Every structure is written in C-alpha cells, then in structure tokens.
Structure 1
C-alpha cells in the first residue's frame, strides 16, 4: 500500500476496534489476491468495502475473519493481535460473520436458527432474542416457520439475527443485499444502521456501492486487492474519480 493510501486509512480510522493491516495473501498456495490491503472499523461505526468485480473485496473480509492465511500483515481486535486465531476462536473473541450464501439452516425454524447462533453462550439468551425480534418484527411473526421457506430478504434477516445472537463487537456482512429488491435493500440498510447505533461495529462488503456509501462512516475502494481510495462515505460519493470509475458517473 502506498504512503498516501496509508495516510488515508489512518485519517479515517483513528481508533479502530478491528483492523486488518497491510494484508497480503490469497487462498492456499495460489497467487496473492490481496496486496498490502488495510481495512479498519471504529466502534459503533459502519465501514464499507466496495470496488469492481474481482477486486478482492470478499477476500479482504475473509482474511480479516481468518478464513485464509495472510503472508504479510496482521489483524487486531480491540488492540489484541488475533492473526493466528481460527475463525471459531475469533467468534469467541467478539466477531460475527454472515457469508453471502448458505448463511442459514433452511430446514430449521427461524427461532431454531437464532438459537443456533447462541451456541457459544451459557447464559440466558431470551433478552438478546427479544432484541432481535424488535429489530426484525417479521421474524417474530414467522418464528416457527422453516427459514428456507422465507423470502430472500427475510432469510438475510435470519442470517443477521443469528450472527447477533453471539453478542458480537464486530458484525461482518458479505454482500447482505445480494439478490433482494431495492425496497428490501433499503430496509436492510436501515436495520444495519440501527445495529451500529447500539455500539456494534459493522464491516460490510457491498456491490451496491452508491447506496452502501450513503450509510458508511468510512469506505474503502479496492482495486486488484489493494487500497485505491479511502474516505468517509460522503467524501467518496463526491470524489469525481470514484464517481466516474466505480459509481457510474
């Protein structure tokens, strides 16, 4: 990552609760996909990763969550180096990850899916579940229905709700609005804002770049696995280079 890009990241994430810094790596023994990539999010803020197809957005997210080995760089959560931890151990440390696909148990009911999200907890989960039903009222109405019978937007709500059952410090979302209608997308983004207001940090990869940057406290534009542009959502939306290259003008 260039010094200018490093300065941009440092400026917008001065006290990150989570940071993947200078990450270089790829899958297995294959070629590197990330090249000195840095992604960070502050407590209770929304950080969005955008960029063209094949830019390494989801790879950066997975690297932060420990789903691939990075050859260079580090990942820190709350100031603690977690680079060597497995994804399961990172969940125990306060991270939750919602993949783009296969993110629910379709044969289980909505409520059973939420219960599965609390598998690490040994305390009373009823209060957390009530909070999720307040956040997603439709899930309370359909709590006994098989999750696989729900609409795409409702299944995404189940997936997010299940992740929130772990009471994470950081919620990571990979393309949460993929395949849903614009109305459902707006509703999901509204709920994501509500989650952030509770103090949970949101790190999100999103293909609907313009809409995602509208709710972002900080945005990262990746190109070929490296930081190309970093700034607040408003700054990136008004940047003529970003608009022309990534937002359709």
Structure 2
C-alpha cells in the first residue's frame, strides 16, 4: 500500500498481513505510519497504489461500513464505548448490522470477558480503563468478524491491566480470529505476536515472528531499549 492524506505519501509500498488464528503486531516510532497503514486497510483513506484483500476478495474500493459487512471489526484507541449506555447496550450496538439472534454471540463475549457479565447493567462510563477496553473489544466481536483490528489497545492502562488485556487478546485469537493491532508497548506486544511488522518512515523496516523480532539486535537497540 502507498498513500497518505492528500499530500506526501505516509506509507510507501507497505505490506501487512495476518492469517486466521494469528496475532500480528505493527510497531515502530511515532510518525512511522502505523495508524495510517491500519486506516488504509479499514478504508478510512484512499491508497494511491496497492490493494487490500480479505481472503480471496479485493476490498480496496469498499467503504469502511462495507468492510465491516465483509468481516472487519475495528476498535479505535479512544472514544470507543458509549459511556451513557450499559455494558449490555454497548454490546447490542455492536450487532446493529445483524438480523439474526445475537444471544449466542453475547454469551461467547461474556465467556471471554466474565467481568462484563458481572457489570452488564452498569454504565460503561463508570468502568475502569481496562474494563472499557474489554467492552470495546466485546462490541467489535458482536459483529462476528473474521479480522479484529485494534489501535493501541493498552494505551493509558497500568502494566497489570496491560497483561490482562493481552491475555484476553490471546483468547480471542484462539477462537480462530485474525487479530491485527498497532501497539506502542513494543516488547510486550511482540511477546504475544505470531508475526510482527516494524514500520519506519512508512516502509517495512523489519518483519518476522514476534520471537525473531525480539531477538533482532537492531530492533532491540532501536525500539526495545537494548
């Protein structure tokens, strides 16, 4: 993918991929094009060159809403819950495109995130930051996606909560979904990643398994504190 926001290209021949049952992580310095790459895949900006494919289907020309219909779910970094609604109402909002019985999916979300079942009548705005993130991920799962995209899911949470969120993300992957996330906490994210991409200046600087990138001396020196 090559593109930007109308001026100079921010991502240049950038390639990102994730398979079902995998976690892929995009890391890199601020301004590297991580969020731009994700927005391009979501259809939130026009790419000048390249393609976005979901399975065997080219979805490059589809709107963001049409991509949701094809199986992509996105959790933004901020403003990702309806604070004045209950947890359960938030989850129901995630199923707004569906016309079938959502109760089984709701039960699956509560199995993944037991704290949400416990607080299902409580307003999302009253929850902790980590619990709100679980609501946001749960709402995305209500669309029954094949790909779950997360933009910095651990931003602003404590190390303990970060670990808990990553544990839940692993559980989501283990249900067979493809999980793609942009993450500033590079070391912790690569520890759970099946594959990782390091973007620098909008290009693929390094890619490999999470384990390979953690062991790469240049990655360690540049992004992981040596």
Q: What is the TM-score normalised by the length of structure 2?
A: 0.99
* Residue of 162, 181, 188 corresponding to 1:204: 181
Cα distance in 2 for partners of 1:191, 1:86 equals 29
Deviation at 1:30, TM superposition (A): 2.2
Aligned position for 2:223: 246
Match of 1:126 among 103, 126, 134: 103
| Partners of 1:72 and 1:134 in 2: CA distance | 42
Of 21, 37, 47, 1:60 maps to 37
Q: Residues 17-28 of structure 1 correspond to what in structure 2 (within 5 A)?
A: 23-27=1-5
**5+ residue gaps, structure 2:** none
Give the TM-score of the pair, scaled to structure 1. Answer: 0.90
Q: Which runs of 5+ in 1 are unaligned?
A: 1-22
Picking from 24, 27, 30, the partner of 1:50 is: 27
Give per-residue Cα distances to partners, 1:44-103, cap 9 Å, x unaligned. 100000001110111111111111000011000011100000110000000000000111
How many pairs does the alignment contain? 226
SS at match of 1:248: coil
Q: Give the RMSD, CA atoms, in angstroms.
A: 0.6
Matches within 5 A, 1:136-175: 136-175=113-152
How far, CA to CA, are the matches of 1:155 and 1:43 in structure 2?
25
2:207 counterpart (212, 230, 238): 230
Q: Does 1:187 align with 2:145?
A: no
Q: Post-superposition shift, 1:111?
A: 0.3
Which structure features the higher share of strand residues? 1
Say whether residues 1:95 and 2:65 are aligned partners: no
Deviations 1:151-195 (A, max 9, x none): 100100000000000000000000000000111100110111111
Residues of 2 paired with 1:121 and 1:180: CA distance? 32
User: SS of the residue aligned with 2:24?
Assistant: strand
SS in 1 for 2:120: coil
